[in-house]
Amino acid sequence: MSDLKGDVIEAIQEFFREVAANNPTWNFIFFYEATQWNKVVSGLWMTVQLSVVCVLFSLVIGVVGAGLQGAKSAVLRAIVAGYIQFFRNTPPFVQLLFFYFALGQFTPTYSPDGWLEIPIISNVGWAIISLSFFAGAFNVEIFRAGVEAVPKSTQEAAESLGYTRLQIYGHIVFPLALRVSIPALNNNLVNLVKTTTQAFVIAVPELLYQSVTIWNDYPSAQYPMMTFLFFAYLALVGVVVVGMNNWERAMRIPGYGG
Amino acid sequence: MSDSNVAAAAGSWTPEQPIVSLKEVRKSFGDLEVLKGITFDVMKGEVICIIGPSGSGKSTLIRCINALNPIDSGSIRVEGQEVHDAHLDKLALRKKVGMVFQQYNLFPHKTAIQNVMMAPVQVLKQDKAEVEARARKLIAKVRLEGKEESYPGELSGGQQQRVAIARSLAMNPDIMLFDEVTAALDPETVKEVLVTIKELAQDGMTCMLVTHEMGFAREVADHIYFTDRGVIVEHGPPATFFSEAKDPRTQEFLGQIL
């Protein structure tokens, strides 16, 4: 069995070596050289981690933000509105630069050996913060639209059954708003996964960053690497879309909505 | 004022006193005064119907009784407790007063039985198994055996409204408020809902109904109130109310509707 697997891999590597030998600009080096392949795998893994963590944080930000938009305090509502304006109306690329280089200067550092000064928030940390807040701003708006779609009369029925504001949000408004929000959420999360490539600018070793290091070392691998990037993101986003569609189906209420 | 409140809150109410007592209740929406000094009492076990033309303040009146709408002046007491008191324990009030709405307002993401069980479990923190047993009895009482697992969207208007009645009854209220509960129903399903309410009334439940069903009012009500432009124009037991209405406004209304 393992012999067979080894043989197949061997054959694939041989095939791409031959392609490279015959076509100087189509050097799929990452398919036959272990060092380059490991870069691709580690880049892909970083992209997946970054996506998953940012999706989760951005969802939390969206839910909490939409809840705060209905808060009694005008100050709280103004803070949420300001946050949305800032993150929605500026490019995520600029946000990443600003967070890492401008705010990064003020982050405390620690020193494991007495010589090195390591900031407590790494570039990966800043990418997570920046991208989560970026996508979170859109999620707040998406959830708010969902919350507004829940009829006031349904909330009144809950109120007359003794539910408090918080209980109404948790048990009735949120579950209904979520269902309305899923299609728009789907779009935003797809965008978020694609936007993780911009973490490149602060040297987060995700898939695009690793790909660029490969084609810098091997210019002959540039076209193959770019082609691979397209297929890799098609697959990644495909997983997100299929997952979201299944979720939407699972959440569907018989006899309700479309 | 505060002395009598304290006395009332201390439980000085006895079943011989009015279970609901309104005195000079006034309420405006902006410049429009919808309630212009409403006064009446309801005794335990009584069934009263409030009738009148659209926009006469009937629904507002009934919504004030369980504090869904605040009042501007006057007093509403439920079992001796002032409803429009800043320190009112709203949960205590809403345990006593059940409400059924024109548009049913069921929770669309929950099945019929879950709709009935939700508030006792989530608000009153009662034992789930015990609540479920009670909910099944209530579903049977409103003649919906077999529909326990249906979602509101899968039920007819009349069936949804009966689930809504069972949902209110699950809180074991002392008083039931019905706000034009048959107004949104097909004529064929009106009857099934009215039969349910009639049975409730015969069991001794205190009921206050805003309704356009004159035949029903005549048959079931102990007392009928006719409101127009924010005041009670005329009232009396059905036997005399329908045949001996004195006020021209009442006569005109009855002439149009009967």
User: pLDDT (tens digit, 9 = 90+) per residue, B65-98?
Assistant: 999 999 999 999 999 999 988 888 889 999 999 9
Q: Chain B window 184-243: which residues touch A at a Cβ cutoff of 8 Å?
A: none
Interface touch A162/B123, C-beta < 8 Å: yes
Interface touch A255/B153, C-beta < 8 Å: yes
pLDDT bracket for residue B2 (50, 70, 90): very low
- Check residue B11 and give its pLDDT: 58
Instruction: Select from A157, A179, A253 the Cβ nearest to the Cβ of B105.
Output: A157
Within 13 Å and on the Cβ side, how many CA atoms surround A36?
A: 20
Interface touch A256/B109, C-beta < 8 Å: yes
Indicate whether B10 pLDDT > 50: no
- On chain A, the residues whose CB falls within 8 A of the CB of B107 are 154, 157-158, 172
> What average pLDDT does this structure show over A45-73?
93
> What does each C-alpha distance from B65 to A203, B25, B73, B201, B230 come to in angstroms?
64, 10, 13, 19, 15
Interface pTM, i.e. ipTM: 0.89
> What does each C-alpha distance from B162 to A160, B102, B211, B234 come to in angstroms?
17, 12, 16, 31
- Check residue B12 and give its pLDDT: 77
pLDDT bracket for residue B194 (50, 70, 90): very high
**Does domain B2-257 sit in CATH 3.40.50.300?**
yes
Segments making up each domain of chain B, as ranges: 2-257
Indicate whether B5 pLDDT > 60: no
- On chain B, the residues whose CB falls within 8 A of the CB of A175 are 109
DSSP assigned state of B76: E
Note the pLDDT tens digit of each residue in B122-140. Answer: 999 999 999 999 999 999 9
A24 close contact with B: CB closer than 8 A: no
**Token pair in block for residue B257:** 């509707």
Indicate whether A109 pLDDT > 60: yes
Among chain B residues, CA nearest to A180:
B109
Note the pLDDT tens digit of each residue in B36-68. Answer: 999 999 999 999 999 998 888 899 999 999 999
Instruction: Select from B101, B124, B171 the Cβ nearest to the Cβ of A153.
Output: B101
pLDDT bracket for residue A159 (50, 70, 90): very high
Instruction: Give the distance from residue B222's alpha carbon to the nearest chain A alpha carbon, in angstroms.
Output: 25
Interface touch B68/A162, C-beta < 8 Å: no
Q: How far apart are CA B9 and CA B80, in angstroms?
A: 7
Note the pLDDT tens digit of each residue in A113-149. Answer: 878 888 888 899 999 999 999 999 999 999 999 999 9
**Residue recorded with tokens 């602060």:** A202
pLDDT bracket for residue A1 (50, 70, 90): low
Best A159, A161, A179 residue to mutate vs chain B (most B CBs within 10 Å): A161
- Check residue B221 and give its pLDDT: 93
Q: Which bin fits B72, alpha (ψ -120 to 50), beta or left (φ > 0)?
A: alpha
Amino acid, res. B11: G
A151 close contact with B: CB closer than 8 A: yes
Interface touch B91/A162, C-beta < 8 Å: yes
Q: How far apart are CA B113 and CA B131, in angstroms?
A: 10
> What average pLDDT does this structure show over A150-172?
94
- Check residue A241 and give its pLDDT: 94
Instruction: Select from A161, A162, A253 the Cβ nearest to the Cβ of B151.
Output: A253
Instruction: Select from A160, A176, A254 the Cβ nearest to the Cβ of B153.
Output: A254
**Token pair in block for residue B94:** 């809403």
Instruction: Give the distance from residue B255's alpha carbon to the nearest chain A alpha carbon, in angstroms.
Output: 33
- Check residue B6 and give its pLDDT: 47
Indicate whether A156 pLDDT > 80: yes
The domains of chain A, with CATH numbers, are 33-251 (1.10.3720.10)
Instruction: Select from B66, B119, B154 the Cβ nearest to the Cβ of A254.
Output: B154
Amino acid, res. A49: Q
Q: Which long-range contacts (CB under 8 A, 24 or more apart) does B127-131 make?
A: B131/B170
Interface touch B105/A156, C-beta < 8 Å: yes
Q: Chain A window 234-253: which residues touch B at a Cβ cutoff of 8 Å?
A: 253
- Check residue B3 and give its pLDDT: 46
Question: Which stretch of DSSP H or E encloses residue B82?
Answer: strand B81-82
pLDDT bracket for residue A5 (50, 70, 90): confident
**Token pair in block for residue B165:** 């009645």
